[in-house]
Structure 1
Amino acid sequence: MSLITNDKKQLSTINTEDTYKEIRCFIISAKQEIYKSVNSAMVEAYWNIGKKIYEVCGENDRAEYGKQVLKNISKALTKEFGQGFSVQNLRNMRQFYMKF
């Protein structure tokens, strides 16, 4: 009887480990897909931001008008969304749009 009980415990342990490993793979795979989706969405957002800045400021975002527009947009975006929207980052987004 103890031989059967030990076999069941061993089988249960193996099944638990295998099940855990499979579930772990599902979670890791799902997280990777989420990261890809988020990255893709952010690239698209940055491209669209760059496009809009280009449409408003044109090629010369360093002229007085362009500087003021970028400064105001940067201030408002940073206030609402936090870091990542400095004037330089907005310029980089515009450059990103212009390259493609």
Structure 2
Amino acid sequence: MMEISEDSLFQSVKEIIRQSREKVFRIANSTLLLTYWQIGKLIVEDEQQGKERAEYGKYTLKKLSQKLTSEFGKGFDYTNLSNMRKFYTAFPIVDTLSQQLSWSHYRLLIRLDHAESRRMKIF
């Protein structure tokens, strides 16, 4: 009789831990996506400075990358900052982001050529 109770307790605790981990992952993923989207937006706005098209060199993005990497470590290299820029450009309305997808998913989607193709892949 004691084993059944211990097993039931274990299963209940295990389920609470599993659900909590899932929740933390969803919140972290959502926050990360929003952070990268906002960084991309700032980069695009800085590039364009109110103009329709950017007259922006790679130098500024490389310098930003060096400073951010120095301050925050990995994750802010030139390639990732370029991906954040593309992320914002591909999905300029934050409400269109799916919280079901991770940053890895979005990095794949931004490689697609057409906006319509991206929308079809998400929905």
Equivalent residue letter for 1:24: K
Question: Which position in structure 2 is the counterpart of 1:96?
Answer: 87
Q: Which has the higher helix share?
A: 1
Q: RMSD over aligned Cα, in angstroms?
A: 1.4
Give 1:76 deviation, angstroms.
1.0
Question: Which position in structure 2 is the counterpart of 1:24?
Answer: 14
Percent identity at matched positions?
A: 36
Once the two structures are superposed, residues 48-88 of structure 1 have per-residue CA deviations (whole angstroms, 9 ceiling, x without a partner) of 00000001113447x4xx32221111011111211111112
In 2, Cα distance between equivalents of 1:32 and 1:26: 10
Residue 43 of structure 1: which of 25, 33, 40 is its match? Answer: 33
Moved over 4 A (4+): none
- Give the number of the structure whose alpha-carbon radius of gyration is greater: 1
Equivalent residue letter for 1:28: R
Question: Which position in structure 2 is the counterpart of 1:55?
Answer: 45
Gaps spanning 5+ residues in structure 2: where?
A: 92-123
Q: TM-score, normalised by structure 2?
A: 0.66
Gaps spanning 5+ residues in structure 1: where?
A: 1-10
